[in-house]
Amino acid sequence: MDVHVVRHPLVEDVLAALRDRRTSSDVFRQLARRVSLLLVAEATRDLPLAESAIDTPLETTTVRRLAARVVAVPVLRAGLGMLDGFLELVPQAQVGYFGLERDETTAVARRYYEKVPKDLGGAVVFLLDPMLATGGSAAMAIEGLAELGARSVRLLSIVAAPEGIALLRSVVPDASVYTAAIDRGLNDRKFILPGLGDFGDRLFGT
């Protein structure tokens, strides 16, 4: 499984503010969107282009336009914080949703909702989930997308734990991961350390 850590001074700077417990939800939302833009730019670097001819005001020229069908699938709730940034850069993307929730005591994910576009096989599918902790949620979503026809899924995460990456490597080796950081590990409640806390709660102020 390919793992890409997106290294960029702007990514570091946004991460610093996201990690800060004093950051309020309204600012957290803006930061989530900003770091997502940087991740999306990296994760779409190899998308195919097709040539066509257009007329500039001065002459006819050949241009290259995006030739991939792109599907973005945010994992509810926290992945919603990455969707605006994704759609800003890829406005033609179709959007599906996966609802997953970790049990608060066992940290095991439960699937409660899904709605995705048809014919995932012909699309490049981006799963948006900012926290890759045990990897249980991402594995469940990627396996679910594969059952629905997706051929290879790119996970965009903001903070990942080594445990989550190891799980994905073993269960969904064809997936790829783009993340802003790989942190130290998980605590006994399966939260990422140093991490940034509960992303969904911080995003939505719950």
Binding region for ligand PRP (CB under 6 A): 75, 77-78, 100-102, 107, 109, 129-138, 164, 190, 199-200
Say if CB 206 and CB 29 are below 8 A apart: no
Contact between 31 and ligand URA by CB under 6 A: the answer reads no
Among 102, 129, 154, 183, which one carries the catalytic annotation?
A: 102
- Cβ closer to ligand PRP: 103 or 119? 103
| Binding partner of 77, given ligand PRP, ligand URA, none, CB within 5-8 angstroms per partner class | ligand PRP
Q: How far is the CB of 74 from ligand PRP (least distance, A)?
A: 10
Does residue 133 belong to the site contacting ligand URA (CB under 6 A)? yes
83: DSSP letter: H
CB-nearer residue toward ligand URA: 114 or 163: 163
Report the distance separating Cα 137 and Cα 24, nearest Å.
Answer: 26
Residue 104 exposure: Cα atoms within 13 Å on the Cβ side:
1
Q: CA of 194: how far to CAs of 16, 33, 34, 140, 164, in Å?
A: 11, 21, 21, 24, 15
Binding to ligand URA in span 152-191, by CB under 6 A = 191
> Residue 192 binds which one of ligand URA, ligand PRP, none, with CB within 5 to 8 A depending on kind?
ligand URA
Residue 195 sits in the site that holds ligand URA (CB under 6 A)? yes
- Find the shortest distance in angstroms from Cβ 67 to ligand PRP: 31
Residues in the chain: 206
Partner from ligand URA, ligand PRP, none binding residue 135, C-beta < 5-8 Å depending on class: ligand PRP
- The one-letter amino acid at 2: D
- For the chain, the C-alpha Rg in angstroms (whole number) is 17
Q: Within the chain, where are the H helices?
A: 9-19, 25-43, 80-89, 136-147, 162-171, 199-204
Characterize 152-178 residue by residue with b for buried, 16 or more Cβ atoms within 10 angstroms of its Cβ, and e for exposed: ebbbbbbbbbebbbebbeebbeebbbb
- Interacting residues with ligand URA between 50 and 69 (CB under 6 A): none
Question: 198 an active-site residue?
Answer: yes
- 113 burial (CB, 10 Å; 0-12 / 13-18 / 19+) is exposed
Smallest gap from residue 114 Cβ to ligand PRP (A): 14
Catalytic residue status for 102: yes
Q: Which residues bind ligand URA (CB under 6 A)?
A: 78, 131, 133, 191-192, 195, 198-200
Question: Which residues participate in catalysis according to the annotation?
Answer: 102, 106, 198, 201
